[in-house]
Structures are given as structure tokens and as C-alpha cells.
Structure 1
Amino acid sequence: MNLRRLRSFVALADELHFSRAAAKLFVAQQSLSKQISQLEAELGTPLLQRTSRKVELTPAGEVFLAAAREVLARFDQGVAEARRVGQGERATLRVGFIVGAALELTTHILTEFIGRHPGARIELHEFGFVDPSAGLADGSTDVAFVRLPSSAHGLTTTPLFTEPCVVGVSASHPMSRRERVRVAELLDEPIAIGRTDDSVWRDFWTLAEYRGGQRARNLVETHSQSEEVEVVAAGMACSITPAAVRRYSPHPGVRFITIGDHPGSVVAVAHHSSRTNALAASFVDAAVTVRDRETQILRTIQDAPDVR
């Protein structure tokens, strides 16, 4: 099985027409047909259903198409990286993160990685609520700091710590003088939630698992953390959020109260299982080294004292 046959199959799957696919590949239609037949013979199963009117993928063809795309993408990425390095350019690692990244561990992780790869270049990319995968889902980043859970498929995640969650309420809210609340006390409250298509991530931050199979109905969608804080300060909704917001985003009109029976938010370093590279793997290893070394920082993050 070779790359030429894979490219021929992907082109045909895109066009679902032998003549157009052959023209796209600058080959004769007979040559394309031969490549596909040889590929099917190697796999031992038909990938396409051919009739006089149309070409369709078989179920096996659908599965193989996803694998072929991944193989070609990884190969092309490797070629491009090798050429850049061979031409004297520095290897680049694209690191994605959402608000907060890995909190106080972030700088230590970046410093550890740079110490291991002084010739590498790091590009940092911040993502909003709309993409909790921080660019891993669409391949715009190589490695990322993410908060779990998420519905993004194909990610390899390495947990760094679990951070307690708090509820942000307006300073005028009846709960604002409390130090702790329980999840059950929040289920009838309107909740501010970042706008995203990631249903798993959305369910976690709207307390869906506590609602007996019913989704939260009184939601206020926001586009950023700063917008969410202003919504809460105005008394329009409360927000379920990591405890670090007390340190990073204090607001005179918002009180943050510990949720005593919430499991907390897991922060992990992640990469896409099918698109990993040596630099991404080294970054994950650097993150684990820092996590295991900086025990005092971890205690500060995970204990999250009740300071409002």
C-alpha cells in the first residue's frame, strides 16, 4: 500500500466521479481505476460501489477514508517540518489554551520545555468558549491546555490537577454572604454558559448530571469570561466556574462561593492522537515533570481556600 493509492482514493472519495478525480490527479481514468482496484485487492474488501450512474463509498470505504486522510495529513506535515528544518528554520510548536491555561503551572511548564528545546519556537494561541479543545479538534494547534470533560474525539489527555469549582453570584444575591453552597441549591438559578457546540463541556458547567436527565432551561449564553463576569455582576445569572477566578478575575460586584459537593474541574495537557509529533510529546513530558515537581503550587491550586 503506498501514498499514491491513498491519494487516488481520497481524490475519488471527494469527487465520487472517476473522470473528475482523474483530471484532479492529472492521470488517465484507466490509471485511476487500476490504483483503486489494487487498493481494494490489498485491503480485501470493496471501498466503492460503482454503477453506470454514480459512485458511492461502501461502509468500509467510509472508515478507510478517515484513516487515509489522517495518514496523508501526518505525512504532509512531516514533509513540511523536515523541509523547514533542513532550510534552517526553527521547529515550531503551536500551543493552544483556554482562559487560565494551567494556572500557576503554565510559566514553569513553558520554561521547562524551552530549556529542553532552546532552538524551538513556541506559538501561543488563546481560544474562547466556542472551542474547548483549544484548536486540537481542527488541527490548528499541536498541543493544548484543556479543561475536561469535552466531547472532542481522538484526544490523548494527561491530567495535571483537579481544581475546585465555585459559583459566581451578584453581590446583591441572597447567597452572596454564604461561604459554601450545595449543587441542589443552584439548580433553579439562571446559569451563564459560554457559547459552544461541545455538549459534554456545556453539560458539565450547567450541572446537567444533577438534573435527572433534564437539561437546564434558564441559560444565558456568553462569548468570553469577561462577558460572563459582567452578566453575573448585573444579577442576570450565576456562573459555575473554576476557583482560580478568585485570583485571576476578581470583580467588586461578584462573590465567588465554594460548591461543597461538586467534583471539580480537571485541567489536562492534550494532543490529538493522530497528529502528535516529537515536540508535542516532549511538551507533555515537560508538563508532567513540572506537575510532579511543583507540589506546593499544586496544593495552592487544589486546596482553593474560601477567600472571596
Structure 2
Amino acid sequence: MLERLEIESFLILADELHFGRTAERLRVSRARISQTIQRLERRIGAPLFDRTSRRVRLTPLGRRLYEDVEPGYRRIEQGVARARSAARGVEGVLPVGYLGTSAGEFVMDVLRAFARRHPATEVRIHETQVRDMFGPLRSGQVDLLVTQFPVVEPDLVCGPVVLRAPRVLAVPANHALARQETASVEDLARHRVFACAGDVPVYWQEHMTPSRTPGGRAVTRGPAAGTLQETLALVGAGHGISPVGADVARYYTPRGVVYVPFRDAEPLEHGLVWRCDNETARVRAFVAVATEIAEAGAGAGAGAGADR
């Protein structure tokens, strides 16, 4: 009978075709993987991998063994994971909301890892809008939200920051600021700055488009916009300027809009939020996986960002 480490080492090495990465995934030494594969090959009676100084590849026998073993092993893993999820109360449906494209991409990264760990839980995703930031969370449409910070609400719990992005200033292409290499927060006092429409907390509005600059100069707020696309359309039409996350330039480059990096603005942050009265096992499990993804470099500190 094969040992678990032998099966896992064989399957992961067949996927990675690299002893070092296989060792990292199993958190053992490279020598341990090499010894385990050699022991497995002795038990089988023939080589399963062709090894050279430059590459590793499956032999025809190794390929056949992989095709026979992998489906059954995955079913066993999924069965055990489902049993654990049911025992912990994680099994069921978890609706997750997100604000902005980069937050949506982060949620998908978490979803893939979460599905492997908790296959009995169905995650349903919903995109939220600035105009109603917390409505879906408070109504129960979503149990968990990846949204732009700050969030200071007595009925909501703030989890860890998972995304950070430098701020940039969206300006009309024919604007004087478009010819500058950088912008200052003080520049906001020289032009109309778009406000956010809808049920947006005052403290969040102040964080995004302050009423006064750090130097004390008043900021004139222009027409309210409920979505990022509306904001950029107004900027492109020459009606004002707007601070946004640097990742916006990667996803949205409408005609007539130029992005100028700030030299003195704090980065924007996204984090996890849920209701105080709804901290379920499913919510805790998703937060745990999201935190791992962020700490591994897919989120916080990796340059990913937040949309307005």
C-alpha cells in the first residue's frame, strides 16, 4: 500500500515537474521528495520520471499512473474536505460582495483557493456600487464584503486590509495638470473635484475627496457621480478632476482622460467587512483564506488596488 507522502509527492511533482517547487508545496526538503520518489519507483519496479540536469518529465508509465491515481485521490480529498466543512458549519452558501474591478479579481483568487479547501460551500459573488456601499451587506444580500476603507460603522466589523494602491488624479487630457509628471493633494483646491452620489458616509467622502487640503485650502466639489464610469465620463468631458486608485488606469482608459500620479497622497485600501451579528463559520473561513492570499503577496503590499 502506498503512503500518503508518496502519492502526494508523485502527483504534485507530475504537475510541477520541478523538485524544488514540489518540496515547497509539501513543506519538506527537496532531498525528502527525491528519496520519496525513488522509494515509490522501487515499489512500482520502474522509473516514473525522466530526470536530467535541465528538466523533469513523466515517463509513459508515470503518465499512466498519474491518469489512474489522480481522479481518485482528488475525490478522496474533496470528500474529506466536505466532511470537515459540514462538521465546522461551513457547508452551505456564502454570498460575497466586492467594490471595484481589482477587488473582484482578488475575490476570484480567494474563491479558487477557498473552493479547494471547502468544496461543500458555494460562494456567490455580487458587485456592489459606491452609491449604496453597505446596503447589500445590511439587507443580507451578501454576508461578506470586500470594499474600500475606511469603514467606521457600529454594526459592521472590519477585517484585514487585503489590497493597497497608490492614488492617481484623473484629469481631462487638455488640462494643465495633464502636462505635469506628478500631482499634489493641494492641486485639488485649484479645480472642481467630483463627489460621490448616493448613501456614502461623510467620513468616506472626506477620505476620498476632502473638503479641504492638508494646507487648509477649500476644495470645490463638482457634480456627484454614482459609478466610476460616470466619474471618468465627466472627467473626459472636461467638467472636473477626480482622485482614483492607480489600478483604474489599467482597467479604464476612456478617451480624453489622463492619469497623473500623486506624490503626497496616502494609498487607497480595500478590506473585508461583515455584520457584527453575522460572523458565521463560513464568513470566518473565507476571511482566513483571504488573509492568507493577501499575506502571500496577491493582495496587500503587492501593488493591487482599489477602484473608486
| Structure 2: tracts of 5 or more residues without a match | 1-85
**CA offset digits 1:51-86 (Å, max 9, x no partner):** xxxxxxxxxxxxxxxxxxxxxxxxxxxxxxxxxx9x
From 206, 211, 215, the equivalent of 2:209 is 206
Q: Distance in 2 between matches of 1:277 and 1:215?
A: 44
Look up the match of 2:196: 194
Aligned-pair identity in percent equals 22
Look up the match of 2:9: none
Counterpart residue type for residue 210 of structure 1: T
Residues 137 and 152 in structure 1, CA contact (< 8 A), matched pair in contact too: no
In the alignment, is residue 222 of structure 1 matched against residue 225 of structure 2? yes
Look up the match of 2:121: 120
Structure 1 position 227, deviation (Å): 1.0
Residues 97 and 146 in structure 1, CA contact (< 8 A), matched pair in contact too: yes
Look up the match of 1:182: 184
From 237, 240, 252, the equivalent of 2:240 is 237
The 1:212/1:178 distance shift into structure 2, 3 A limit, reads closer
The 1:193/1:93 distance shift into structure 2, 3 A limit, reads same
**Partner SS, residue 261 of structure 1:** coil
Q: Distance in 1 between matches of 2:168 and 2:180?
A: 12
Counterpart residue type for residue 176 of structure 1: A
**Partner SS, residue 111 of structure 1:** helix
Q: Please tell me the root mean square deviation across aligned C-alpha atoms, in Å.
A: 2.4
Q: Distance in 2 between matches of 1:177 and 1:106?
A: 36
Q: Distance in 2 between matches of 1:175 and 1:224?
A: 23
| Greater mean alpha carbon deviation, residues 241-250 or residues 184-193 | 184-193
Look up the match of 1:169: 171
Structure 1 position 188, deviation (Å): 2.6
Look up the match of 1:69: none
Q: Distance in 2 between matches of 1:227 and 1:296?
A: 27
TM-score of the pair, normalised by structure 1 = 0.63
Give the 5 Å matches for 1:32-43.
none
Q: Distance in 1 between matches of 2:139 and 2:237?
A: 35
Q: Distance in 2 between matches of 1:288 and 1:202?
A: 27
TM-score of the pair, normalised by structure 2 = 0.63
Q: Distance in 2 between matches of 1:168 and 1:103?
A: 22
Structure with the higher helix share, 1 or 2: 2
Look up the match of 1:265: 268
| Structure 1: tracts of 5 or more residues without a match | 1-84, 303-308
Structure 1 position 295, deviation (Å): 5.4
The 1:92/1:101 distance shift into structure 2, 3 A limit, reads farther
Structure 1 position 278, deviation (Å): 0.8
Q: Distance in 2 between matches of 1:94 and 1:222?
A: 27
Q: How many residues align?
A: 214
Look up the match of 1:286: 289
Structure 1 position 121, deviation (Å): 1.5
The 1:216/1:177 distance shift into structure 2, 3 A limit, reads closer
